Structure 1
């Protein structure tokens, strides 16, 4: 499948979401799930806002399939998320472990803020240790709390340090 041609057809409107969905579904029969995610990553920035939102929603739904009822008893992510929800009640984001927005070298975590203002998506690179992944999640969640436009300035550092303090306290109490 020529992804460049399909993307061009998608952008100019000669094929719609249904058709591209069928093409991707057919492609999935021949390739791994990773290739499908690479397609979204590769072409995400070149798509119009409407199609970016569709790809974002697909990406979220794709990862929702793999939810489980198994409890991870000493999961540091659960502790961190509990701290975030308790202290920043309005926080709302989705988390994926993946390498579609991150490369594991320069970018270990990334927060995608959809242009339509919907739920941000945080991606954590799968090569990270649990300890590093937890810290990267705290880092990216701080971006969600402080807002897309806020860089790593004083406001951001204050929130990140507070999350870090609460997490350390929680670790000492819980584990």
Structure 2
């Protein structure tokens, strides 16, 4: 159950096609003068204002508010807050799936080991709780949140199986689409396709914030050359880099942003 109230409704959206039925020309609210907006909000009467103009103002406000409320109970002060964009991507993909997210200092699992992310499913079936370590690097926050939200989608017993992996990749894909729309770049849209020799591109390294301990003797700690996040470089990564000089390595998130090709 949500811990906050929203003014917009899940099943009600602004229908762009109804504008053709308006009987008079309307303007975007951003083109209104301060005096006109003040009169609509605080004037003693709306006499003289066209009904369609006021309706368009309400529609524009509702649409913007619904996008805002997708994030959650609080909005970020940052224009490009990556975790907020992850939260928006998740809400657009899974509008009926609820969760509670929190930052936790010194986050530890049931055995007492330090972890960077954890999702708890209450035994009473209530809303899952996503916890992200407050000690994790800020650059790792979007990847950590996407990782845990994929657990929310897949369910408690799914582990890191195919359903979890599909959810994580869907969240990352939508995240990059939103980010690209917010901050257009000259590069091609980021896509994930099977890698072929000669393609070049970026080898995605496992982020330490996501997997704190190495899973093999060949895992060596390094840093992402783009964002500085700690990553695990494996023998497979080193072999790929040695075999194909056009390749470079980066953390998973930076690889996705850069339009990485990965197997």
TM-score (norm 1): 0.55
State the match for 2:124 in structure 1: 116
Q: Highest relative contact order (Cα 8 Å, sep 6+), 1 or 2?
A: 1
Are 1:91 and 1:145, in contact at CA under 8 Å, matched by a contact in 2? yes
Correspondences of 1:36-75 after superposition (within 5 Å): 71-75=77-81
Correspondences of 1:1-175 after superposition (within 5 Å): 71-99=77-105, 101-102=107-108, 107-175=115-183
Tell me how far 1:166 sits from its aligned partner: 1.3
Tell me how far 1:97 sits from its aligned partner: 0.6
TM-score (norm 2): 0.38
Mapped to 2, the partners of 1:157 and 1:69 lie a distance apart of: 28
* Bigger fraction of residues in helix: 1
Taking structure 1 as reference, are residues 70 and 89 closer, same or farther at Cα in structure 2, changes over 3 Å only?
Answer: closer
Tell me how far 1:72 sits from its aligned partner: 2.9
Tell me how far 1:79 sits from its aligned partner: 1.1
Taking structure 1 as reference, are residues 90 and 70 closer, same or farther at Cα in structure 2, changes over 3 Å only?
Answer: closer
Ranges in structure 2 where 5+ consecutive residues have no aligned partner = 1-72, 184-263
Tell me how far 1:101 sits from its aligned partner: 4.0
Alpha-carbon RMSD across the aligned residues, in angstroms, is 2.2
Taking structure 1 as reference, are residues 70 and 173 closer, same or farther at Cα in structure 2, changes over 3 Å only?
Answer: closer
Taking structure 1 as reference, are residues 132 and 150 closer, same or farther at Cα in structure 2, changes over 3 Å only?
Answer: same
Mapped to 2, the partners of 1:68 and 1:140 lie a distance apart of: 20
Mapped to 2, the partners of 1:72 and 1:102 lie a distance apart of: 28
How many residues end up aligned between the 2 structures?
Answer: 108
Tell me how far 1:140 sits from its aligned partner: 0.5
Ranges in structure 1 where 5+ consecutive residues have no aligned partner = 1-66
